[in-house]
Structure 1
Amino acid sequence: MNIFKKKRSISMLSGSLALVTGFLATLAQAATVEISALFSPDPLNPHFNEFKNTTPSSGLCNTFPIFCRSRGLYSIRLGFEAQSQGPILANHADIRQGVMIKVPAEVRIIQVHSSTGQTADLEFSITAFSGSNRTRDVNELTGRPPGSNAYYTNNVLWNGMSWGFNAPAPCVLGAGMYPSNIDADYFWLTPQAAACGKSPAFDIDHLLLRNASVSYLMTTPDPLKMESGIYRGSITYTVGPGMDFDFGDVLLPTDSSVTLNFTLDVQHTLKFQFPAGADRLALNPAGGWQQWINHGRRPEKLVANQDFKMWSSTPFSMKLQCEHAVGVHCGVKNPAGDIVAVETRVTLPEGLQDDAKRPVNRNPLSIVPSVFAPTYYVDNGRAALHFDVAREQVKHMIEEHSGSTYSGSVTIIWDSSITP
């Protein structure tokens, strides 16, 4: 019996993305940021079935990498600024008349699409905001002598609540940041989509919000349930008074919106390795033909097994293509034209399941595709094909066609182009 194997390997698609922040000088323009993530199975960590964020880091997590890494956070610079359109008055009562920050902290669902029409959902939320407030020399603003300590003077300017070390509720201080005479850097966690603001103790004639960046949490879909390929999606946040990013009524941004473009690159592996000579198998009784030759004892069945190795991070189907079909199964045929059925079964490594989520142990194969899916990346797993001729078929062959040779080809077709 000849056995030929055919496989469809998944091509490795890759997308090269650079983080581009758009800065345009008019309010009607929009900033654009690229966010990318990659899934490629890792033989050293086969149970890690998650995307890796490949977005070039910019903004606050570049300054505080350990803080962000320990919390699974990433950051991006937004590409816009906000500047005051008039003076910020001392001790104002309305938070919107000063320097305030409100970010879209709630979770947003973004749908990504592949070129073949497959879709998946990811979750995205803003978790922190960072920026730098640039003013005239704070010693001039507060009337303190030139060269006075910048940290102390900033505390005086902001009623003892410097931006770098004090975050008003509901914001939470992320990390302490020392100011200079003209720049007050800050890093605030933003657990709610609510305004956080401060009122100065002295009038501020002009203030520029620079280096605006956010930290974000992105929950990506299960890559094992996605086809290989590039998935794209986007979300647009509005920027300005009363918008998603809101800095009050005095600070107006240079852009009216910021669009985040998402690219998920899924690079699956599907590979099979058969030993030399696996394309030809002989069906024999268990233990050989000696019981029949020496004692005339008819074999219970004829069997052949073929071991192979496999790698898989994607769902796939298996089906038969027969030289001699017997219903939905394949068969072998003798010169007289007599055909008997050969049952074909498969055993797959741990980590692969059938469509009922059961381990694959001698599952029957036919000309109708059977679908299997990984629960984690299967790396160099042991598998086997099993071929049996049943007892009644063996009886027919011996009693009706003794001495005859039966042969036939069974082609095993693997196909990864299926919808998980």
Structure 2
Amino acid sequence: MPDLIPLARLRALLLGLLCLGLDTAFASEVLISARVEDQKLVNTTPRSRWCSIYNLCSGHNTIDVPFEMSKQINLASPDDRDKAYVHLPPRQSFTLTNRSTQETARMQLGYRFVSMKYTYQTQDVIGRSVRNCRFESVSGSPNASKFLWSVYNSDAPAACVSVAGSSDELQLSVFNELMLTYLADFPSAASLSPGIWEGYIDYPIGSSNGFDFGNVLQLSSNNIRFRVEIQVKHDMQVEFPASGSTVEVIPPGGWKQYETTNQIPPKLVHDSPLKIWAASPFAVYVTCQYSPNPTHCAMQHPRVTDRAAVYTTLTLPATFNFNGQPVTRLPLGVGAANAKMITPVGNVSSQPGQVHFEVPQSDIRRMLTYFRGATYSGDVTLMFDVNI
């Protein structure tokens, strides 16, 4: 006949265990965080405090999960769920949403390693063999032991069942300090618009799509939620020639053909070359020293308040598009409220483009009729913003 647990000790154990489960409606929650650096997603989730004892701190994403349970383990039971039992969730996808734009993207989570601290009374409930999974390690004493197992297939993991002898003595055990390694398939950095992306996936305890620890007495929570938050703030680069800060608008072909006639040039123009690097959508617009309306800037007479309109357009190579169309002399509006969103096709590096400035003939006629010889000027600033 097996030894019996002293009644006073059993009551004390059960009292402690009941305290764990006072409010099982609460879900355990963990946060996986990431941010974009140099056009790449970098995982910024704090590592598990236990990863060093298993040499899992590098090359693995580890995380601690606030979860605790108790179960009465029967090593001789024909039901594997009465033993030390862990069934990790299958790889699943869920939705991330940009908090500002409400755009959505999909990502996946899967799991490979699992570790827990556990207690037992007289018979160790974790053996050095585990059915369906890989045994990695076990160590400690009745008051503080830890095990580490891993699954063979993170897409559809099998249930891990410890093989620890055949004693029919019931062992009241508490399991906590849950550590996992997770496999995160984040969306590509280039596909995420600037802002904070967030989403979550819930894993009900005991569900085929959640974490299953077999037949348990008490749970600190009946659901484990993994919340994901990604901060996206893209980098980009635009280069102009060293002399590109000052431009002069002139008639196509120059002024010479108009100097001895009364003809009015059809327009005044200047094309400024640029090079651009980008891996994600960006907004482009202009700000003006003189801004008569949202569609264009202006330049002004030095002594009177006569102004001439300056229209700004943008041309980029076929590796960029605006609303699915080529960026060819795309009119640029004034101010962020009138920005145009440009989308690169992949990671674009050192691609050529042009900014076009144009003064219409109607304004040239007025300038030549009333203010011939005057120099009009004004500032036009191009704004390229990956975080608008």
Both structures adopt the same fold (TM-score exceeding 0.5): yes
RMSD: 4.9
1:128, distance to aligned residue in structure 2 (A): 2.2
Contact 1:225 1:315 in 2 (8 A): no
Residue 383 of structure 2 is matched in structure 1 by 414
Does residue 19 of structure 2 align to residue 32 of structure 1?
no
1:55, distance to aligned residue in structure 2 (A): 0.5
Does residue 265 of structure 2 align to residue 305 of structure 1?
no
Task: Identify, as 1 or 2, the structure richer in strand.
Answer: 2
Deviations 1:33-54 (A, max 9, x none): 22211113x1xxxxxx442110
Q: Which one of 114, 118, 124 corresponds to residue 130 of structure 1?
A: 114
Q: Which one of 161, 166, 186 corresponds to residue 220 of structure 1?
A: 186
Contact 1:322 1:330 in 2 (8 A): yes
1:233, distance to aligned residue in structure 2 (A): 3.9
Q: 1:256 to 1:404 in 2, by over 3 A?
A: same
1:105, distance to aligned residue in structure 2 (A): 1.9
Q: How does 1:145-164 map to 2 (within 5 A)?
A: 162-163=128-129
Q: Secondary structure at the match of 2:20?
A: coil
Q: 1:353 to 1:186 in 2, by over 3 A?
A: same
Give the whole-Å Cα distance in 1 for the aligned partners of 2:234 and 2:209: 40
Q: Which one of 75, 92, 99 corresponds to residue 107 of structure 1?
A: 92
Residue 230 of structure 2 is matched in structure 1 by 264
Q: Which one of 155, 162, 166 corresponds to residue 191 of structure 1?
A: 155
Deviations 1:344-399 (A, max 9, x none): 332347864333253x4544445664331334566777654222468x77996899
Give the whole-Å Cα distance in 1 for the aligned partners of 2:259 and 2:209: 89
Q: 1:325 to 1:214 in 2, by over 3 A?
A: same
Give the whole-Å Cα distance in 2 for the aligned partners of 1:324 and 1:178: 72
1:107, distance to aligned residue in structure 2 (A): 0.7
Residue 45 of structure 1 is matched in structure 2 by none
1:306, distance to aligned residue in structure 2 (A): 3.2
1:108, distance to aligned residue in structure 2 (A): 4.0
Q: 1:401 to 1:327 in 2, by over 3 A?
A: farther
The one-letter code of the counterpart of 1:125 is: L
Residue 52 of structure 1 is matched in structure 2 by 42
The one-letter code of the counterpart of 1:407 is: Y
Give the whole-Å Cα distance in 2 for the aligned partners of 1:244 and 1:306: 58
Give the whole-Å Cα distance in 2 for the aligned partners of 1:58 and 1:204: 34
The count of corresponding residues between Structure 1 and Structure 2 is 356
Residue 356 of structure 1 is matched in structure 2 by 324
Q: How does 1:381-396 map to 2 (within 5 A)?
A: 383-388=353-358
Give the whole-Å Cα distance in 1 for the aligned partners of 2:189 and 2:42: 11
Q: 1:26 to 1:176 in 2, by over 3 A?
A: closer
Residue 6 of structure 2 is matched in structure 1 by none
Q: Which runs of 5+ in 2 are unaligned?
A: 1-17
Residue 71 of structure 2 is matched in structure 1 by 84
Does residue 56 of structure 2 align to residue 65 of structure 1?
yes
Q: How does 1:164-183 map to 2 (within 5 A)?
A: 166-168=130-132, 172-173=133-134, 176-177=136-137, 183=145
Q: 1:82 to 1:54 in 2, by over 3 A?
A: same
The one-letter code of the counterpart of 1:98 is: K
Deviations 1:138-189 (A, max 9, x none): xx749xxxxxxxxxxx9xx96xxx33xx441xxx42x633656764623222
The one-letter code of the counterpart of 1:76 is: I
1:88, distance to aligned residue in structure 2 (A): 0.6
Deviations 1:167-221 (A, max 9, x none): 41xxx42x63365676462322243265332464223532443442222222334
Contact 2:136 2:150 in 1 (8 A): no
The one-letter code of the counterpart of 1:131 is: S
| Percent of aligned pairs with the same amino acid | 22
Give the whole-Å Cα distance in 1 for the aligned partners of 2:61 and 2:304: 71
Q: Which runs of 5+ in 1 are unaligned?
A: 1-23, 43-48, 143-153
1:104, distance to aligned residue in structure 2 (A): 2.4
The one-letter code of the counterpart of 2:356 is: H
Give the whole-Å Cα distance in 1 for the aligned partners of 2:272 and 2:96: 43
Q: 1:53 to 1:208 in 2, by over 3 A?
A: same
Contact 1:100 1:198 in 2 (8 A): yes
Give the whole-Å Cα distance in 2 for the aligned partners of 1:278 and 1:228: 29
